[in-house]
Structure 1
Amino acid sequence: MPGPPSNGLPGSTRSQIAAAANSRYVDLAADRSQRQHAEEANPVTQAATGREWRSVNAIGCTRGLLPAAPDVDGLCDDGLPSVYVMQCDPADWQLPRWRSYRGPGASAWSPWEQVDYGTCPADRVPAMTAEDFRRLPLPAPTLVMQPEGDWVLVNIETIVRTDPTPVVLTTDLLGYQVEVEARPAVFAYDFGDGSEPLVTRDPGSAWPDFTTHHVYERPGQASITLTTTWTGRYRLVGTDDWLDVAGTARTTTTGPAFRIEERTSRLVADLCTDRPTPPDC
């Protein structure tokens, strides 16, 4: 089956046929293929696979019952043009999207594969999956512990808190530039002493107005681990309509190890800050 050239994009000076519809009839709009969004997207390296991707918008062909990539010149010399019925104005309709890839070190691109069947403006944003969301470089929120230092006291509150500020990132989603807003939603503190984690939506506050804390019951050593669950929403760059991400992501932060100490108070004859230090301090 012929397809677009491996190092180029479908294109021709001849016309292609696109279609759109309203409730009563189908309008056919002819346009030259050079103007049908047939530009190669900026290659994007996918961290998970090492693949480099490119995409193009072009009419496809129907051969038998299967959709097929356009021929070498971008048209359907062997097969019927695919006419898609879309409920939007023909001028706003975007052609079906195709993509191909090549692996690390490869010179040849893979065959074109169809991503969608053309879109109206309201449907133009591809869905961001939970897997897409989890691949984003979300920064783990800072874990703050009070009192600060390398030791805490038994039977006294050890205060924890974090920063709930949302993070805004820009990424490529199937050839579209999208803006993603990720929000820390749930905080789970593991205090490292075998107790049940503290799971809360409260990011916490500093002393004396603290709301998230833990009381250690015996001396020892521990470190605190904060696991943050993120929710997100996204939109096309330059637009105002946000869509929710279908899933969550998690980040983990572990603080430095510290000692848990048990100390007792006693009366002394002199100040322990005196020099030399009194023997009963």
Structure 2
Amino acid sequence: MPRHLAAALISALAVTTSLLALPSPQVHADVTIIGDDDRNAFVGSGSLLLPPQISAYGRETAAECPGCVWRSVIQCEMTSAGACRGPARLCGVDGYWLRIYVTRPDGVEIDLGAACFGPGGPVSRESVEGVIRDRIVARVPDLKPWRQPAGRALPHVPVIFGVSEEEVPVTEAFEILGLSISLTARPRWIWDFGTESVATLSPGRRWPEPTITHTYRQAGDAVVRVTAVWEATYEVGGVGPLDVAQDVVQRDATTVRVGQGRAVLVR
């Protein structure tokens, strides 16, 4: 092989090898938060939940701004702790002291202040609410619809319905990525009887004080569907209550067999 072709081939292989060795970009669970190595920062869009080192105004602004674009500048890395001063020295070995800037939909950029963040950078409201929904799912009991009478129903005689849940809200306090969360989830129920639907805040009570009833007009099998909707709010370090964007929904069904009443001769 001629010398100039061999040199060109070696050069091409060197370029290819260097491209394959480049570090992959930082990956986060929330696609709206990305690492920006060129600017030594994190950038993204949507609402953020910021730590208590940020002022109450800054945390409220970031939490209620779904249309915002934000950026964060690394002012101090603990890998070079000698350059860190004051509160920045408390960020931990893997932490960053970041200054957060938010650009509102009107184009105005606001400096929200600086605080300690973990290696993944700022925490999005969307990612936290995903964890909250998972915790609600783990806490709420099964629907387990019931009815009275439990056996065959009769036309023109009210049937009493309910579920095994209670109207007591689910509450929990926990931490997510260093953020203190106080959660409250409240249920409501929607009954679909085929011919009508009923929305209620009561899980239903048994006789003699029923709260959910339905009267069938003719014999046959009737499917009754019930949906529980858990609407949740939460507070983060005194900010809130914030609404969880997506409700937790449970569904179940039961079949009622409606038979004809028969006259009984009594002597």
State the percentage of identical aligned residues: 18
**SS of residue matched to 1:58:** strand
Aligned residues: 184
Q: Could you say which residue in structure 2 is the equivalent of 1:160?
A: 161
Q: Distance between the aligned counterparts of 1:128 and 1:215, measured in 2? A: 45
- Please give the TM-score of this superposition, normalised by the length of structure 1: 0.51
Relative distance call for 1:85 and 1:205 in structure 2 (3 A) is closer
1:181 and 2:235 equivalent?
Answer: no
The structure-2 alpha-carbon separation of the partners of 1:248 and 1:205, relative to structure 1 and needing over 3 Å to count, comes to: farther
Partners in 1 of 2:83 and 2:225 — Cα distance? 61
* Secondary structure of the structure 1 residue equivalent to 2:258: strand
Q: 1:48-197 to 2 correspondence within 5 Å?
A: 56-59=95-98, 86=113, 95-100=115-120, 114-115=121-122, 133-138=132-137, 139=140, 142-162=143-163, 163-170=166-173, 173-184=176-187, 186-191=188-193, 194-197=194-197
The corresponding residue for 2:90 is: 36
In structure 2, distance between residues paired with 1:225 and 1:85: 48
CA-atom RMSD, angstroms?
Answer: 4.0
Post-superposition Cα deviations, 1:212-238, rounded to whole Å, max 9, x if no partner, equal 2111122222342221222222234xx
In 1: Cα distance, 2:209 partner to 2:153 partner: 19
Residue 106 of structure 2 is matched in structure 1 by none
Task: Give how far 1:164 is off.
Answer: 0.9
C-alpha contact (below 8 Å) 2:154/2:260 kept by paired residues? yes
Cα distance change, pair 126–258 in 1 and its aligned pair in 2 (3 A): closer
The one-letter amino acid of 1:115's match is P
* 5+ long unaligned stretches in structure 2: 1-36, 42-76, 102-110
Moved beyond 6 Å, runs of 4+: 127-130
> Which letter does structure 2 place at the counterpart of 1:158?
V
Q: What is the Cα deviation at residue 154 of structure 1?
A: 1.7
Q: Is the CA contact 1:130–1:249 (under 8 Å) kept in the aligned structure 2? A: no
Q: Which consecutive residues of structure 1, in runs of 5 or more, have no partner in the other structure? A: 17-29, 41-55, 63-83, 87-93, 101-113, 117-124, 270-281
- Partner deviation per Cα, 1:189-222 (whole Å, 9 max, x = no partner): 012xx31211223433321111221111222223
